[in-house]
Amino acid sequence: MILTNEQEMIRDMVRDFAQGELRPKAAQFEADQSYPPSLFEQLGSLGLMGMTAPETYGGAGSDFVSYVLALIELAAGDGALSTIVSIQNSIMVGGVLKDGTEAQKARWLGPLMRGEAIGAFALTEADAGTDAAAIRTRAEKTESGWRLNGAKQFITSGRIAKLAMVIAVTDPAAGKNGMTAFLVPTDTEGYSVDKVEHKLGQAASDTCALRFDDVMLPDDAVLGGVGRGYRTALSNLETGRIGIAAQCIGMAQAALDIAIAYAKERTSFGQKIIEHQAVGFRLADMATRLEAARHLVLHAAALKDAGRPCLTEACMAKLAASEAVEKICSGAIQTLGGYGYLEDYGLAKLYRDQRVCQIYEGTSDVQRMIIGRAL
């Protein structure tokens, strides 16, 4: 698609930031397994933590295509950071904007969008990932509010978050209509991090097992109304899938750029290796696969901007992009040969970071199921 001047300006601004501030430090972030809090506030000052939120609430008021372009550039600089930014925008800020009361918006939107409070979306459990209707975390009504008990698994930013959006069962007999979303400040007594997971990639973005032991919440912690938690969770996943697809495009572009630059410099048998058909054809296939996936992502984003249904397109974008990035990172490593296998060139980190994209926000199999039903 052809971008507007404003969209190009946003893309270029984020690209300059990502390449200048993130990419040179990405390996250190990974080694530290964390980010400095000041970085989140810097992202907030750039408007990247509440991109599509209205300006009346302190957001950037950008269109969804611009948001996707920004995520692509952030992921090209550091894939793990783009995961945090994606959840912050699509689920946390987006969820509070869509379902929150004015009091909840007044309390949480500012800190979330300024990067002062990182949010965690707590839906997945050890035995309830894709099958969200099988969650066991319970919230029981009390005279003063709700008592929350249970555990969550694979929760991004569970350790650093100041606010968690927790999906819990409030009426076990009502099935999907018996779930409720709660906004839980992480300093509430009874909220604890059971374990910080050690992962294949995205080490700087913490992934945690959480526990809730008699967490007492007031009535105004309910987000979107009692019994509407399942709808709240699923309505935000559409946006989240486009965000993860954008993340894939950014990491794939970074890998392709490294491979092309190396192929133009490395000489073998008297010529640059990009001139060898085996290498040139591989790069051509990688570039074509990337461009096809990029257009699927931008198309889904454009549909979102137009207010049109885009669940199928979002699933197609995530499926295509998440599978493309693995092939492109693998092809880039192959192009560099032994050097690609080393940490020095950055491809090893990209390969690690991208692999989860076929798993979270719905596995590739789940995307195929949804697309198949639409057919």
Q: What per-residue confidence (pLDDT) applies to 1?
A: 87
Region of 346 (left: φ > 0; alpha: ψ -120 to 50; beta: rest) is: left
Q: Which residue has the tokens 């969820």?
A: 95
Q: What per-residue confidence (pLDDT) applies to 298?
A: 98
**Across residues 105-109, what is the average pLDDT?**
98
pLDDT band at 130 (very low <50, low <70, confident <90, very high): low
Give residue-wise pLDDT tens across range 271-286.
999 999 999 999 999 9
Instruction: Check pLDDT > 70 for residue 235.
Output: yes
**Across residues 317-345, what is the average pLDDT?**
98
Among candidate residues 30, 238, 313, 361, the one labeled active-site is 361
- Look up 189 and say whether it is catalytic: no
pLDDT band at 78 (very low <50, low <70, confident <90, very high): very high
pLDDT band at 238 (very low <50, low <70, confident <90, very high): confident
Name the average pLDDT for the chain. 96
Give residue-wise pLDDT tens across range 40-50.
999 999 999 99
Spatial neighbors of 270 by CB under 8 A, at least 6 apart, are: none
Q: What per-residue confidence (pLDDT) applies to 50?
A: 97
Q: What per-residue confidence (pLDDT) applies to 237?
A: 76
For residue 103, give Cα distances in angstroms to 61, 96, 156: 21, 10, 26
**Across residues 217-235, what is the average pLDDT?**
93
Instruction: Check pLDDT > 80 for residue 345.
Output: yes
Instruction: Check pLDDT > 70 for residue 132.
Output: no
**Across residues 347-365, what is the average pLDDT?**
97
Q: Percent of the chain having pLDDT more than 90?
A: 95
